[in-house]
Structure 1
Amino acid sequence: MSEWLQLTASDGHFLDAYIAKPEKEPIAGLVVVQEIFGVNAHIRSVADSYARDGFLAIAPAIFDRIEKHVELGYEGADMQKAMSFIPKLNIESALLDVAAALDYAHKETGKKAGVIGYCFGGTVAWLSATRLKTDATVGYYGGGIGSFAEEAPKVPVMLHFGKLDTHIPKEEVDRVHTSNPEVQIFWYDAGHGFNCNPRSSYEPNSARIARERSFAFLTENLRG
């Protein structure tokens, strides 16, 4: 079952959030953090898939602070508009929105809650582990993660990157590994966005393996 509801961040900002609920009692809560394309069909499908696997999944509409109801594709004018959001993004505000989603997930389930994020959301997921009250995080190809490599996560973290990703220099990921050797980092023979099936860079085998690893990791660290 899925629905939209409204959250309130600690600074008083109201934002929409997509909620996907499991059929039975949830394993835990899971915040799904968007790419720069909004809470679009792909991100909703990610939330839906984790709900089918037993998590209460919530995807906060982080772009509500810039423009409401952002839902973009991956080519042409949609890609151009998505890129235009990048200089407008405020990572601190995004973390307030994720914190509101985590608070909802904790209260709704009465259990642990984690964060999983993609692209921009991958960086937000990393910062959730270092700054927020989460219990585990997973990040996919977080483009800005190298800027925060020295921040130490307070919870278990798993990160996924593509060897062919021209957006993220390997040196940035190496800084994360050097500063935090306990973090699980996996590399795939794929490019940026390899998990996203609507994108031309989608790589199904890598996506499957990363999904299996992520699910096992989240279940181990969030159950009970």
Structure 2
Amino acid sequence: MNHIGFDDGKEQIEDLITSLSNSYTHIGLLGFSVGATIAWLCSTNSKIDFIIGCYGSRIRDYVHVKPSCATLLIFPEQETNFSVSSLMKALQQQRNPLLEIKQLHGEHGFLNPSTVTYNEQSTTQVYKIIDSFLMKTML
């Protein structure tokens, strides 16, 4: 079994970003859970235009990261292992105009229709939030 970890995951994604940057004008990352944390770690890469991270619970270990691209973080109302409101407060203390944080009703995984935590109403709201974020980011 291979052990990847967040740093190795970040390195792999940044290698991909470097290769894609030769062919694409705009590059964005969308990540869920672990993928959201890795996207957050990549948010300082100058080749990325935006990131969207959904319930990246391990972001709490990387609150020192200061995104240099448009960043949308979406959190559930509650997580089992930590206080979402404390994490959001720590991130908001950055006062980074590129960082947008939203919290919606539900638990970790609320966007995944295959989980028991799926929340259709919050999912509909998230689609609208993401659409609005992309419209203002890419225009």
**TM-score, length basis structure 2:** 0.86
Q: Which residue of 1 aligns with 2:121?
A: 205
Q: Which residue of 1 aligns with 2:8?
A: 93
Partner AA of 2:54 in structure 1: Y
Secondary structure of 1:202's aligned partner: coil
- CA-to-aligned-CA distance 1:149-173 (integer Å, 9 cap, x gap): 1221111111101113224422122
| Displacement after TM superposition at 1:132 (Å) | 5.7
Partner AA of 1:115 in structure 2: L
Q: How many residues align?
A: 137
Partner AA of 1:220 in structure 2: K
Q: Which residue of 2 aligns with 1:156?
A: 70
Name the CA shift for 1:167/1:210 in 2 (closer, same or farther; >3 Å): farther
- CA-to-aligned-CA distance 1:131-157 (integer Å, 9 cap, x gap): 463111111011111111122111111
Secondary structure of 1:189's aligned partner: strand
- Tell me, yes or no, if the aligned pair for 1:99 and 1:132 is still in contact at 8 Å: no
Q: Which residue of 2 aligns with 1:73?
A: none
Partner AA of 1:91 in structure 2: F
- CA-to-aligned-CA distance 1:50-69 (integer Å, 9 cap, x gap): xxxxxxxxxxxxxxx82xxx
Q: 1:169 aligns with which of 58, 83, 86?
A: 83
- CA-to-aligned-CA distance 1:107-129 (integer Å, 9 cap, x gap): 33x31101111001111111111
- CA-to-aligned-CA distance 1:42-83 (integer Å, 9 cap, x gap): xxxxxxxxxxxxxxxxxxxxxxx82xxxxxxxxxxxxxxxxx
- CA-to-aligned-CA distance 1:2-46 (integer Å, 9 cap, x gap): xxxxxxxxxxxxxxxxxxxxxxxxxxxxxxxxxxxxxxxxxxxxx
Q: Which residue of 1 aligns with 2:42?
A: 128
Name the CA shift for 1:89/1:174 in 2 (closer, same or farther; >3 Å): farther
| Displacement after TM superposition at 1:222 (Å) | 3.4
How far apart in 1 are the matches of 2:82 and 2:45? Answer: 23
**TM-score, length basis structure 1:** 0.55
Q: Which residue of 2 aligns with 1:112?
A: 26
What's the RMSD between the two structures over aligned residues?
2.0
Mark the structure with the bigger radius of gyration: 1
Partner AA of 2:120 in structure 1: P
